[in-house]
Chain A
Amino acid sequence: MTGEPRRVLVLVPFPMTSDQIALRAAQATEAGLPPGIELDYRSVRAAPSGYVSQHDYVLADVSILEAGLNAQDDGYDAVCVDTVSDSGTAALRSMLDIPVVAAGKSMYAVALMLGRTFGILSMWTRWFGLYERSLREVGLGAQCAGMRAIDVHPDNRNLLGGKEDEVLPRLLEAGIELIEEDGADVICLGSTTMHEAHGYLQERLPVPVINPGPLSYLVAEALTALDLTHSRASYPRPLVSKESMLVEMLGAAVRAEAEQDRPS
């Protein structure tokens, strides 16, 4: 079997500059992808400022759905959504036939291939709600031994930049607590923005540590190689699709954001 080049669209859930996108794209080197896989990164046009409330979740869902709507027409073979919240993935799956990889669900499934339980290591307790949402959807909450966060306000654009000395030892400590006190056999990083901490933690923790972004790229590679995609029975098409309405809505969101930023 020979491989045609396969193109994967990675949707970044916040509007970003090219430098900030490059920090996200650095995850690709951590995945060790086989030849023939090309990753393109695309930011959403507008977004909530963080993922801490239901208000934010619904805006994230809509903006990611809109950003990926044309992926299939644009010739992509798969879509990855670069957030453990799995925002927008279910809606995108209802619209696209190409595989749409949910980084969170994929991470929990793979964690249970390596151990009986997993723990989620996070920057911020206010992200726990989005893990609970995704775990409920995939129905694997019973195997989650615990969630721990270090409560350092995360920077979803510049990631750890400059804060490594403060952040890394605290993440390590919380990881040890997840293992020793909560009983986690595997550690799941609670955000793709934590990828810069993965190497440090894996070197020091005695259990597997899953880096969700790189894993999602390899899952996309596997799905395209296996010619598999999500089930239409779980993700039915709408009776009437409102693609142009979604595009108009995000255009309006961008204008509203610009309006707000304009000096008065």
Chain B
Amino acid sequence: MKRVLVLVPFPLDDEGIANRSAQTAEVLLRPDVSFEFQAVRAGPTSFVSPHDWILLALGIFEAGLNAEEDGFDAVVIDTVSDSGVDELRSMLDIPVVGPGRASLLFALTLGSRFGILAQWEPALARYRKVIPEWGLTDHCAAVGHFGTPPDFAALIAGKEEEILPRMEEACWRLIGAGSDVIVLGSTTMHQAHGYLAEVLPVPVINPGPVSYKLVEAMMSLGLAQSRRAHPRPLSPKPAMIRTMLEAAAAHEIGHG
């Protein structure tokens, strides 16, 4: 049995983790691979500013540092921001997959241009940063949003009637702007995927489940990230990173 560690980017309780791990039920997975969800120790409260991005990256980096020693065969990050992916890749030899870049590239195997459905206006800054960094500007037809603040623990549960029509409307705008494929802009939108895939006339990419299938394929083919693109540090500081996140977690308890 191969074991995949899925890193959840916010320090959630068991119920919050369960809402995230429900993504594994949305796709047919191999019987010989298990997915184990684990949350970071500490992180930002929102995800709208470079302040938040750097804390999220460090939290995910720390949470995955020991994955190889703990016997995992691969790591997946449960955020389309791909926060912490490059950092973990510089330290680990097992495949590390972020659903963001992977979903956008995967979308290009199904259609010419993708549209990204973002949660709300403050989320747009992150996409404006990563799309050019990933060299995919020319392939992006539009980034749109449905104007609803995210709930990183409950996701959209209980608010479906209000939220789903707004998501659908935003997707139609993306299609009107020339999107051949819709990519959900966050793994927290996974509960809406079935509905959107049914009502929309173009493929809808559910980034979490897509990342699980891609990591399965990489393990099966013996592929992992290129060391040339992710060089090792001259002096790794895992103990320092661990201590920093322990201090962050203690700080949050003190201020909780």
Contact = CB atoms under 8 A, between A and B. Distances in A.
A10 to B, nearest CB: 17
Chain B facing A: main interface SS: loop
Given A115-B226, A185-B228, A233 B175 contact: yes
A26 interface: no
B248 interface: no
A228 B203 contact: yes
Interface in B209-253: 209-210, 213-214, 216-218, 220-230
Interface in B179-213: 179-181, 197, 201-203, 205-206, 209-210, 213
Given A32-B221, A227-B197, A234 B109 contact: no
Given A105-B108, A112-B101, A228-B205, A143 B135 contact: yes
Interface in A187-233: 202, 206-208, 210-211, 214-215, 218-219, 221-222, 224-233
Scoring A102, A110, A184 by chain B CB atoms within 10 A of each residue's CB, the highest score goes to A110
Interface in A123-150: 138-140, 142-143
B32 interface: yes
Interface of A: 1-3, 30-35, 101-102, 105-106, 109-110, 112-117, 138-140, 142-143, 179, 184-186, 202, 206-208, 210-211, 214-215, 218-219, 221-222, 224-235
Given A112-B105, A202-B222, A231-B111, 20 more contacts: A1-B27, A3-B28, A31-B221, A105-B108, A105-B109, A109-B106, A110-B105, A112-B135, A114-B229, A138-B108, A139-B139, A207-B227, A215-B221, A218-B216, A219-B109, A221-B213, A221-B217, A232-B202, A233-B175, A234-B112
